[in-house]
Amino acid sequence: MTLDGDVAIVTIDRPKALNALSSTVLEAIDDAFARIADAAASIRGVLVVGAGGRAFVAGADIAGMAGATPEEGRRSAELGHRVAARIEACHAPVIACVDGFALGGGLELALSCDFIYATDASSFGQPEVRLGLIPGFGGTVRLPRVVGPARAKELIYSGRRIGIEEAVASGLVVRRFADRDALLAGARETIAQVAQNSPVAVANAKRVLVGAAGRSTDEAVAIEIGGFGEAFGTDDMREGVAAFLEKRSPGFSR
Ligand code: CO8
């Protein structure tokens, strides 16, 4: 994890294996987000990127899975889910910046971020069934929420790879960019916009959005009501409303 002003950059750095997620890589991501949580007050956004220019992440480490037992398989899925929970618990927006392959566990990692920005050179897929596996790091849970259950089933059963056009059309990718430099600049620009707003309110909105995902309407509404009520107890809400009424810029907490 490196810091660029108030933006944290988490780089998946194992380019020789197209950044495949070994348990060492997953532990390193977990550790990076633990450090981000410790430095929360100074971080307004997080970019997750892949090193090497060919891949975001080409999946879980296939070599490491050869010969694993069902118990070991369950444990690796649990580790993946722990990392996803850590990312979802991050106070600030986390943008998956995909430039190249985002496959299997790589797409699942991207899906555990708040949203995905990607370059024209990117491709996406859940190819696990081609290996006799199934998605184990949230693909059956988060992919249907983002692209809809039918499209998720089609992608998971076929294992086919989709390019940027289809990824954008399906809502998987929120914004596309010509190349990596434009991608990173666009992601930083978005974080700069976020940083204009109340950090307390952004964290509150994220908690509500993440907490409500997959719940019944009644439960989700109760979570939103709770978060909305909480906002009224914050200095940032008093400052934001006062600034609007006094026709001045707000000075939010840091
Ligand atoms: N694991 C380990 N090594 C990999 C992986 C991977 N997922 N992907 C690529 N590599 C390695 C290759 O073995 C190769 O290594 P070497 O040079 O030593 O032979 C190197 O990266 C470059 O790869 P290729 O030579 O294959 O490059 P190509 O350009 O020919 O192909 C592809 C690129 C299409 C991306 C190809 O590498 C590929 O199909 N990779 C596998 C994609 C895949 O099936 N991913 C899903 C894996 S299963 C999974 O993710 C389960 C998720 C559940 C996770 C639960 C816990 C986290």
pLDDT tens-digit readout, 74-101: 999 999 999 999 999 999 999 999 999 9
Residue owning the nearest CA to atom 42 of ligand 1? 58
Task: Report the pLDDT value the prediction gives residue 163, as an integer from 0 to 100.
Answer: 98
Predicted TM-score of the model (pTM): 0.98
pLDDT tens-digit readout, 137-176: 999 999 999 999 999 999 999 999 999 999 999 999 999 9
Task: Report the pLDDT value the prediction gives residue 218, as an integer from 0 to 100.
Answer: 98
ipTM reported for the complex surpasses 0.90: yes
Which residues are catalytically annotated? 108, 128
Q: How far apart are CA 25 and CA 28, in angstroms?
A: 5
Q: What is the mean pLDDT of residues 175-199?
A: 98
Residue owning the nearest CA to atom 35 of ligand 1? 58
Q: Residue holding tokens 């994220």?
A: 206
pLDDT tens-digit readout, 19-74: 999 999 999 999 999 999 999 999 999 999 999 999 999 999 999 999 999 999 99
Q: How far apart are CA 90 and CA 32, in angstroms?
A: 11
In order of 1, 45, 51, 55, 210, the CA distances from 196 in angstroms are 23, 12, 29, 32, 22
pLDDT tens-digit readout, 118-143: 999 999 999 999 999 999 999 999 99
Candidates 12, 13, 14, 18: which one to mutate for ligand 1, based on the most atoms within 8 Å of Cβ? 18
Residue 160 sits at φ, ψ, to 5 deg, of: -75, 155
Q: What confidence category does residue 238 fall into, taking pLDDT thresholds of 50, 70 and 90?
A: very high
Task: Report the pLDDT value the prediction gives residue 18, as an integer from 0 to 100.
Answer: 98
**107 contacts: CB under 8 Å, gap ≥ 6:** 124, 125, 126, 139, 143
Candidates 13, 61, 62, 130: which one to mutate for ligand 1, based on the most atoms within 8 Å of Cβ? 62
Task: Report the pLDDT value the prediction gives residue 172, as an integer from 0 to 100.
Answer: 98
Q: What confidence category does residue 233 fall into, taking pLDDT thresholds of 50, 70 and 90?
A: very high
Question: Is the predicted pLDDT of residue 254 greater than 90, yes or no?
Answer: no
Which residues face 117 on adjacent strands? 97, 175
